[in-house]
């Protein structure tokens, strides 16, 4: 197993890269072309961990990840929240008044639309924020600027023309930290844990209501419930994040009831909640 290596999707300087550096500053971050490539690196033991975005407070859930999760053989060993602070980047020898075209991922462009309009810039959608920074560096024309992270500015030797370029502050991305090794922390009553799992409901009346009823009767709080259809319209799968540890008695009872009314229950991981009790709630 490789030591101190964490894989992510995107170019160097992407927000996933920034999340890797902030969560694991001593690890070598390895860029991959796709989320699947990053996961396969861990499965093949070419990387120890993968940093995979699950949802964004502005853009919502990352659909592709929910399609990949049921198929993966990895475990969730932690979560990480990374603030998204967009910067307007340009060439070092250029002035902001020379900018005419702005490149970035469609979500980043949408999150900065008011500022783009105020500057009368023409938005050009690209596949990646950091890739946009790399492209304007290669174009070497003052008319082109990019919306990306401060890390991208550092990596591609660009100038930050404007910080906090986003229209709405407080944009945050939640990441799953994946490992091939199943790591379940020992229960400590002083800490807050999250158990993530997926399941399919049985074909009976009120199946979902009955499957989730055990959490209510045992005083277990659900942090998140997502539904999706990875295998077509015929089967619905559910992803839930639960406040609790599988070694707690109340969780054991709730999971027993879930298993009775659900099919294919798979625990993705048990891990400590990120931050303090009130962080990002």
Any idea which residues carry the catalytic annotation?
A: 173, 175
* Spatial separation of the C-alpha atoms in residues 24 and 78, rounded to whole Å: 12
Kind and range of the H or E element at 76? Answer: strand 75-83
* Spatial separation of the C-alpha atoms in residues 204 and 192, rounded to whole Å: 34
* Spatial separation of the C-alpha atoms in residues 240 and 220, rounded to whole Å: 12
**Residue written as token pair 């702005």:** 102
Residue 245 in tokens: 């540890």
* Spatial separation of the C-alpha atoms in residues 82 and 191, rounded to whole Å: 21
Task: Output the CA–CA distances (angstroms, integers) from residue 244 to 7, 89, 220, 240, in the order listed.
Answer: 28, 43, 7, 12
* Spatial separation of the C-alpha atoms in residues 126 and 109, rounded to whole Å: 10
Residue 44 in tokens: 């093949």
Instruction: Tell which residue, 230, 237, 227, has the closest CA to residue 201.
Output: 237
**Residue written as token pair 């015929």:** 234
């Amino acid at each position: 197993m490789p030591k101190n290596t964490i894989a992510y999707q995107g170019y160097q300087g992407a927000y996933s890269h920034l999340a890797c550096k902030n969560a694991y500053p001593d690890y070598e971050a390895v860029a991959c072309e796709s989320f699947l490539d990053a996961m396969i690196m861990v499965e093949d033991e070419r990387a120890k961990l993968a940093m995979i975005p699950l949802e964004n407070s502005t853009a919502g859930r990352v659909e592709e990840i929910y399609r990949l999760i049921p198929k993966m053989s990895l475990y969730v060993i932690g979560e990480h929240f990374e603030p998204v602070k967009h910067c307007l980047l340009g060439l070092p020898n250029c002035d902001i008044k020379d900018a005419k075209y702005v490149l970035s991922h469609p979500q980043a462009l949408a999150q900065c639309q008011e500022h783009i309009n105020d500057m009368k810039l023409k938005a050009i959608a690209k596949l990646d924020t950091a890739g946009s920074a790399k492209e304007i560096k290669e174009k070497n024309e003052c008319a082109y600027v990019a919306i990306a992270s401060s890390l991208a500015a550092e990596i591609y030797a660009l100038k930050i023309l404007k910080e906090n370029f986003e229209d709405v502050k407080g944009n945050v991305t939640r990441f799953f930290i994946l490992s091939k090794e199943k790591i379940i922390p020992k229960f400590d009553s002083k800490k807050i844990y999250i158990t993530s799992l997926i399941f399919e409901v049985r074909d009976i009346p009120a199946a979902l209501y009955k499957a989730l009823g055990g959490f209510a009767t045992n005083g277990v709080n659900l942090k998140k419930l997502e539904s999706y259809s990875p295998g077509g319209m015929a089967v619905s799968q559910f992803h839930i994040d639960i406040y609790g540890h599988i070694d707690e008695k109340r969780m054991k009872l709730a999971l027993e009831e879930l298993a009775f009314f659900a099919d294919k229950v798979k625990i993705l991981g048990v891990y400590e909640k990120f931050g303090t009790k009130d962080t990002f709630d």
